[in-house]
Structure formats: C-alpha cells, structure tokens
Amino acid sequence: MNSEKYILALDQGTTSSRSFIYDSDFKVTAFDQKEFKQIFPRSGWVEHDPETIWKSQLATAKMAIEKGHIPVKSIAGIGITNQRETTVVWNRETGKPLYNAIVWQDRRTSAYCKSLKSRGRSLAITEKTGLVIDPYFSATKIKWILDNVTDAKELAQQGKLAFGTIDSWLIWKLTKGKSHITDYSNASRTLLFNIRTLEWDVELLALFGIPVSMMPKVVNNSGVLAHTDESILGHSIPITGIAGDQQAALFGQLCIDPGMAKCTYGTGCFMMLNTGSEIVSSSHKMLSTIGWKLGNETTYALEGSVFVGGALIQWLRDELGFISEAHESEIIASEAPNNGGVYFVPALTGLGAPYWDPDARGAIFGIKRSTTKAELTRAALESIAFQVNDLLNAMSQDLEVPIQQLRADGGAAANKILLQFQSDISKIAVLKPSLLETTSMGVAFFASMGAGIHTLDTLKDKWLLDQEFNPDMPLKTVKAHLKNWQEAINRSLGWATATTEINE
C-alpha cells in the first residue's frame, strides 16, 4: 500500500493553466498544462474568460491526477499560485462573473490613473500599499467593472458582488462558493490593501467606490485555509497554500532570510528581495509588497520588473530571424568573445524600473562595419543582465547593504552566457537551482507546510543547486560596461516624444 502523501500545485498563469503533483520530496510525479485564449477587445485591453480559466485549471488537475495514477485521497493538500492583479467580479448568488477577467497587462484605466496622480494621490497611496498608481493593479479594474457593467454598482451596494484575484476565483469554484478568501501576497497587489495594518483600507475602498462587502477574507499563505467540495475531485481536499506567482517563486527559491533575492528571467524579468519583517520604502521606484505571512509573522519584499527580458530573444527569433530557437542565442553569442562595443537598449515597450519612461524606445548603439551577428546577439543577452543589474543596484541602495547572491529561474535562466554576464557586471554570485519550476514548487512548499508534511526547517534541504556563476571580469571592464550602458540608456530615453511617428 502506497502511503505517500502528495501535494497538488495549481499554477494559473497568464497564458496557460498548469497542474503539478509533487511527492513529499518535491519530485514532480505528474504534470499537465493547457493554454487558453487571450482576448483583446481593443488596443491596450487584455481579458480572459473566468469560466475558461476555471475549466482549464480543473482539467489539468484531473489529467495530472490521472497521469500520475494518484489516489485522490493521498493528496494531502492543494497549493494555488496565480497570475497576480488580474481581476474577477462575480455575483455571489448566481456565481456568474459580471465581466471577463481584466488581466494585469490591461491599460484601459490609464487616463483615470493619470487623473488620480494629478490630484496628488500618489504619496498617500504608496505609503499605505507600497505600490504606485498604475492600471496594472486591481483597484482601477474593479472600478471600471462597477462603472461600466449594467446594474453592477447597485448589486455591489446590495452586497451581492464578490471581487477576487484568480486565487480567490479558483477557491470559490473549488469550494462551490463556500470560501471567499485570498492570501496576503495577492491582497497586497490590489492597491486596496494596507500593508502596514494588514487590512483592506477603507479610505482607498471609498476612493475607488468599492464596497468592503466585495472583498475576500485575507488568510495566511499556509495552513488549512479551505476545503474543496467533494464533488470537484471526488473527495474533499484541504487547500493548504496560496501565493501570487512572484512571491511563490521567491519562496520556491527558499529566499527566506532578509537580503536574499531571486530573479525570474522569463518574457519579462521579475526581481524580488526579501526584506524580512521590515517594509523598505524605495527611493528608486521599486514596489514594497508582502512576501508571505506565516503564523503571526509577515515577511515583506521589494519588487522590480523589467518589461522586455527573454522577449528580446523572441524578437531576435521572430522578427530578425537570427535564430530559430531561443537556446541558439547562447551558441551564436559564444562565437563572439565580447560585444564588440555594441549596446542594445531593449526599451521596446518603454522602460520600467528604475527609469519608468514609457517614451523610451529600443536602440542599438555602437554598430560598426565589422559588427557581427554574434556580437549583436551577445549584446541582446547582455542587455537583459544590464536591466536586472539596474534593479539590483536600486534595491541594494534602498536596503543600504549590498545583495550577496541572486537566485535565478525562468526560461532564459537556462542561458549560461546570460547568467555569467549577470554575475560579472553585478559582482554577485548567481545561483541556478536544479528545478527551474520555482513558482509551483514555492506554493507546493507552502501547501506541504499547511498540510503538516514539512516545516520551514525540513524544507531547507529541498533547494538544490545546479550551477553557480561567480564574478570573473576585471573591475576596469565592468566599469566600462556600466558606463557604456548608461550612455546608451540616456540616448534612448524620451525617444517617442522627441520624434514624430511616420504613419503614411
């Protein structure tokens, strides 16, 4: 008789729903994935169908259970990690969403955000939430639904509507409407949660015209948080872990002590630094956020993101035809000993932290008659590392101590040239774990603690090093690179406003 206890980790991402079954040693026993439709009703609008999200997630969970031949009763806990900020509003009585999920990338509330800023609201909002006023976060998306869907405001006032990020929505479905909850990490991305008092902020709710009755109860990241309805998987299973995707990755990288940082090198790059029980307010436009809450202890984090990371390699592949697969970028770049003086600024959609310039545009500097494809490819990879280095510098200045080590994950972390260059210019050890699925692993860690299988102590040996990159570049060269990068950035800022677009 197999007495193994499993964790089912649901990873609901922006483009696909995935389910992992982990054994108690965190080996992946089974996995399934389903992509789903992206809905673009207008330029700058991005939506998902909440029912499709639910169905795709449930289908992958069932398929993973089937593939792994796992008796449902041996699943000791479910962990849920999710695309953050994406907003669903539904009717509590019918369980039906009022509108599609408005995805984190959606920019429809830009004008409203600008008006809030011009009314001088920025400082007070940042002080309470750790965030900046931006369409990215949930608050203005909820307001948009209440303002634009027939009868929504009235229903909300009558207490008939529920708001949730994707974790809440999935838990509502899994429990057949019994639990309307979210965790601290997801709550901290709504622009409505006070990260100091750890409560929904009544002033902010009033500012956005959102009744508090819509908000989910906020629960810890780990514990017995809810129970699935037995009709869903044939047996009631406790939900024992919840975390937003980036926080889950920080935990999955076991960055559990203050000063530890991870960077996920995916389409964009997401860096997060554990700041312990302290909220570090950034002077460099980083976001302060909640990492997790375990027992009575809240762990905070600083977060910064780069819009175009691995996406630049996609661009080399799809638009320039330099490569046919992303991993070839490493082979081609290795043909050049250095970048040959070429600097690539990947401001294809403006620049994020610490520059925050929506009008910056992409540029390649230093091209000569002798410039090769290998040098251009190397420069593209290096530009990802330069951007991450800017985040690292901003965060170490905010923290007032240098960051010693960076744990890397995400698809582009497979690239050795990229990670070595990161280590070189940031003068930091870059560590790549053997399992790059740190997001689902992180929520599996939370869930295994909640299910009583592991404690923080017994998790400590579950993070396994695959490769370590250490600085190996003369200081003089590092300095030259960083100066050149800054020159390139300066020449790219504001390009869209300084020039006239040609549409003829």
Q: From residue 396, how far is each of 274, 356, 413 by CA, in Å?
A: 12, 18, 22
Q: Min. distance of Cβ 414 from ligand ADP in angstroms?
A: 4
Cβ contact 361:324 at 8 Å? no
Nearest to 100 by CA among 84, 87, 91, 112: 87
Name the one range near ligand ADP by CB under 6 A: 142-150, 209-217, 323-331, 477-485: 323-331
Site for ligand ADP in 109-138 (CB under 6 A): none
Cβ contact 408:261 at 8 Å? no
259 or 411, CB closer to ligand ADP? 411
Site for ligand ADP contains 267 (CB under 6 A): yes
Residue with tokens 């937003």: 244
90 or 421, CB closer to ligand ADP? 421
Among 89, 311, 385, 443, binds ligand ADP (CB under 6 A): 311
For residue 217, the tally of other CB atoms under 10 A from its CB is 12
Handedness of CA 99, 105, 108, 113 (dihedral sign): positive
Q: Min. distance of Cβ 29 from ligand ADP in angstroms?
A: 22
Name the one range near ligand ADP by CB under 6 A: 161-169, 217-225, 322-330, 454-462: 322-330
Name the one range near ligand ADP by CB under 6 A: 161-169, 215-223, 297-305, 324-332: 324-332
29 or 267, CB closer to ligand ADP? 267
381 or 493, CB closer to ligand ADP? 381
Residue whose C-beta lies closest to ligand ADP: 411
Q: Round to whole Å and give the CA distance between 375 and 394.
A: 28
53 or 214, CB closer to ligand ADP? 53
Site for ligand ADP in 223-242 (CB under 6 A): none
Q: Min. distance of Cβ 422 from ligand ADP in angstroms?
A: 12
Cβ contact 217:199 at 8 Å? no
**DSSP per-residue string spanning 119-132:** TT-HHHHHHHHSS-
Q: Min. distance of Cβ 314 from ligand ADP in angstroms?
A: 4
Structure tokens at 165: 């990020």
60 or 129, CB closer to ligand ADP? 60
Residues 66-105 vs ligand ADP: string with x where CB under 6 A? ----------------------------------------
Helix (H, G, I), strand (E, B) or coil at 446: helix
183 or 437, CB closer to ligand ADP? 437
Q: Min. distance of Cβ 38 from ligand ADP in angstroms?
A: 12
Q: Min. distance of Cβ 92 from ligand ADP in angstroms?
A: 33
Q: Min. distance of Cβ 33 from ligand ADP in angstroms?
A: 11
131 or 385, CB closer to ligand ADP? 385
Q: From residue 310, how far is each of 50, 60, 107, 325 by CA, in Å?
A: 28, 26, 22, 12
Among 68, 164, 223, 266, binds ligand ADP (CB under 6 A): 266
Q: Rounded to the nearest 5 degrees, what angle is found at the Cα of 391, between the Cα atoms of 81 and 116?
A: 75
304 or 310, CB closer to ligand ADP? 310
Q: Round to whole Å and give the CA distance between 248 and 409.
A: 12
Q: From residue 212, how far is each of 169, 290, 300 by CA, in Å?
A: 17, 21, 24
Cβ contact 26:441 at 8 Å? yes
Nearest to 84 by CA among 8, 177, 191, 173: 191
Q: What values do phi and psi take at 485, rounded to 5?
A: -60, -45
446 class by beta-carbon count within 10 Å (0-12 exposed, 13-18 middle, 19+ buried): buried
Q: What b/e sequence results for 362-372 when a residue is b if at least 16 CB atoms lie within 10 Å of its CB, and e otherwise?
A: bebbbeeeebe
For residue 112, the tally of other CB atoms under 10 A from its CB is 16
Name the one range near ligand ADP by CB under 6 A: 2-10, 18-26, 151-159, 308-316: 308-316
Residues 326-365 vs ligand ADP: string with x where CB under 6 A? xx-xx-----------------------------------
Site for ligand ADP in 394-453 (CB under 6 A): 410-412, 414-415
Among 310, 346, 354, 362, binds ligand ADP (CB under 6 A): 310
Q: From residue 386, how far is each of 309, 312, 357, 421 by CA, in Å?
A: 10, 13, 16, 9
90 or 270, CB closer to ligand ADP? 270
Report the residue count for the chain.
Answer: 504
Size, binding site for ligand ADP by CB under 6 A: 15
311 or 347, CB closer to ligand ADP? 311
98 or 332, CB closer to ligand ADP? 332
Name the one range near ligand ADP by CB under 6 A: 69-77, 97-105, 196-204, 325-333: 325-333
Q: Round to whole Å and give the CA distance between 156 and 186.
A: 21
190 or 267, CB closer to ligand ADP? 267
Name the one range near ligand ADP by CB under 6 A: 119-127, 255-263, 309-317, 348-356: 309-317
Residue ranges in contact with ligand ADP by CB under 6 A: 266-267, 310-311, 313-314, 326-327, 329-330, 410-412, 414-415
